[in-house]
Amino acid sequence: MFLRQVSGPRPLDIRHVAVFDGTGHPSEANGVHNVARALTREQRAAGDQARLVLLARGNTPSIADRSCPTQVIRLKGPDLRGHTLRMSSGNVEELLVGVRDNTFFHIHGGREPMLPGLAWRLRRRGIPYALTVHGRFSHVYDPDGRTVKRNTALYLRLFERSLLEGARFVQALSDEEAVIFRRIAPRARIEIIGNGAYSSSHDATPPRPMPRGVSADYPHFGYCGRYAIEHKGLDLLLEGFSSYCKNGGTGRLTMIGSGSARTDLVQMAERMGIAQRVQILGPSFGAERDALLRECDYFVVASRFEGVPLAALEAALLGLPLIVTAGSGLRTLVTAEKAGLPIGDHSACAVAAALHNAEKLSPDEWQASASAAHAAAMLRCDWAGIASQLRAAYLG
């Protein structure tokens, strides 16, 4: 069916749809959910009727953030290995209650078997949608374009290609992600629109970081995010840091995050003999988290697959140079803007090499990199501008 055009100047009914997997991480610690919340707030401030819809598996999420209207739909369809294969008819009808000719769905996620079926139902009813995958395909190919996950690549081409090619547009968070989408779904319309780190419409303009030198423990490396070991490359981070220490590195590492894997990470650090130089903390948010990050000299993202992680952008706003993999979606930007250091590939050896390179920077070189990171985040990461770009693409 031909998808209707959403009409222009009147408010849109925008429904951001994301999956809550019930694995123990609070929704407020989920970067995808936080992106959808940020967009919802911006779109509501601009006059649209936006909301977040969480498709929940397992335990029903407790939503602490009341600034973003949130609907929770308990999934009832069949599942396999923790993935819902298809949404029940009742779930779909619940999602579509009140749909009008100004309704637009923005789906957040990928590698979810139920999403192609949901998109098919939307297309059949003439309801337009956009898709943001948030880096869920990034581990399928290596930085040189070689296929790493052949079975996943085949699944995506056979089953999720229609999800991409049937969308009004697919939002790529980085140039790297756009290249991946073009391989999987050549006919998809792709818009490269990044993530944000601050809102010029809701917040005061983030101040330039106070001038400071490097820390007394230079180099002090930091990480903040979910403790999802495979996804976030935290095994690579600890193994790389261990190799760095054993080969003369003098720095230390502080990790901030949520999730049951924290115990596993503590045990890994102990086995590697680096527990005295690694601090693995629980979750921290807002000003408390920012205070911890300001004690660091660098923010490290060793992710195997990622969209563009919000915590990294927020760290850049604080004036921390970034040390990133290609899987972070930030390596091209960091290299071009001299806003930190690249990690050559997804290996512990490459992480160790990047940490050594960071230690070699002089205080003046570190300061220049810190200033570049802040400037890049200020230029590219305003949620108000991002929401405006997305709205224009919705109207397509």
**Burial of 177: CB neighbours in 10 Å, binned 0-12, 13-18, 19+:** buried
Instruction: Tell me the three state secondary structure of residue 218.
Output: coil
* Least confident segment among 46-55, 126-135, 207-216, 246-255: 207-216
Would you say residue 204 lies in a domain?
no
My answer on whether 41 and 125 are in the same domain is: yes
Quick one: 189 and 311 in the same domain?
no
Q: Identify whether residues 237 and 167 lie together within a single domain.
A: no
Q: What is the mean pLDDT of residues 335-339?
A: 97
Task: Tell me what the mean pLDDT of segment 269-285 comes to.
Answer: 97
Same domain, 344 and 260: yes
Residues in contact with 394: Cβ distance below 8 Å, sequence separation at least 6, in sequence order: 6, 12, 14, 104, 106, 128, 130, 168
For residue 27, report the phi and psi dihedrals to the nearest 5 degrees: -55, -35
Largest CA distance in the chain: 63
User: What is this structure's pTM?
Assistant: 0.86
Asked if residue 266 and residue 295 are part of one domain, the reply reads yes
Is residue 245 within 8 Å of 274, Cβ to Cβ?
yes
235, containing H or E segment = helix 234-246
- My answer on whether 103 and 225 are in the same domain is no
The predicted pLDDT at position 150 comes to 95
CATH number for position 146: 3.40.50.2000
Residues 374 and 387 grouped into a single domain: no
In angstroms, how far is CA 294 from the centroid of its own chain?
21
Tell me: do 246 and 161 sit in the same domain. Answer: no
- Tell whether 208 is covered by a domain: no
At residue 221, what are phi and psi to the nearest 5 degrees? -95, 145
Give the pLDDT score at 212: 86
User: pLDDT band at 122, cuts 50/70/90?
Assistant: very high
Q: What is the pLDDT of residue 7?
A: 54
Q: How far is CA 358 from the centre of its chain?
A: 24
Tally the domains of the chain.
2
| In contact, 39 and 68? CB cutoff 8 Å | no
288: pLDDT strictly greater than 60:
yes
Residue-wise pLDDT for 5-20, tens only, equals 655 568 999 999 999 9
Given a contact cutoff of 8 angstroms between Cβ atoms, the answer to whether 131 and 167 are in contact is yes
Residue 202 belongs to a domain: no
For residue 1, the model assigns a pLDDT of 38
For residues 270-275, give the mean pLDDT.
98
Residue 3 in any domain: the answer is: no
- Whose CA is closest to 129, among 97, 165, 157? 165
Q: What is the pLDDT of residue 15?
A: 99
- Regarding whether 291 and 159 lie in a shared domain, the answer is no
- Asked if residue 154 and residue 21 are part of one domain, the reply reads yes
| pLDDT at 208 (0 to 100) | 83
Q: Is residue 49 part of a domain?
A: yes
User: Is residue 265, in this structure, part of any structural domain at all?
Assistant: yes
Q: What is the pLDDT of residues 307-329, one digit of tens each?
A: 889 999 999 999 999 999 988 98
370-383: pLDDT as tens digits: 999 999 999 999 99
- For every residue of 181-206, DSSP letters joined together read HHHH-TT--EEE----SB-TTTSPPP
Task: Round the average pLDDT of the chain to a whole number and report it.
Answer: 93
Answer yes or no: do 44 and 189 share one domain: yes
8 domain residue, yes or no: no
Residue 82: the pLDDT is: 80
Q: What is the mean pLDDT of residues 363-390?
A: 96
pLDDT exceeds cutoff 90 at 331: yes
Distances (CA, A) of 302 to 10, 16, 173, 225, 234: 43, 28, 17, 11, 7
Report the alpha-carbon distance of residue 121 to residue 119 in Å, rounded. 5
The reply to whether 211 falls in a domain is no
Higher pLDDT, 292 or 8: 292
Residues 6+ apart with CB under 8 A from 71: 51, 52, 53, 54
pLDDT exceeding 70 applies to what percent of the chain? 97
CB contact at 8 A, 291 and 343: no
CB-count exposure of residue 17 (10 Å: 0-12, 13-18, 19+): buried
3-state DSSP assignment of residue 259: coil
| pLDDT for 77 | 85
Helices 383-395 and 31-45: angle between axes, nearest 10 degrees: 80
pLDDT at site 2: 41
210 pLDDT band, cuts 50/70/90, is: confident
The reported pLDDT for the residue numbered 186 is: 98
Q: What average pLDDT score do residues 208-214 get?
A: 85
Q: What is the pLDDT of residue 24?
A: 64
**For residues 377 and 201, what is the distance between their CA atoms, to the nearest angstrom?**
16
Are 69 and 189 members of one domain?
yes
Each residue's pLDDT tens digit, 64-91: 677 899 999 999 989 888 889 999 999 9
Residue 5's pLDDT is 60
| Residue among 329, 338, 333, 343 nearest 370 (CA) | 338
240: alpha, beta or left? (left if phi > 0; alpha if psi -120 to 50):
alpha
User: What is residue 53's predicted lDDT score, i.e. its pLDDT?
Assistant: 98
Q: Which domain holds residue 360?
A: 220-380
According to the model, what pLDDT value does residue 3 have? Answer: 52
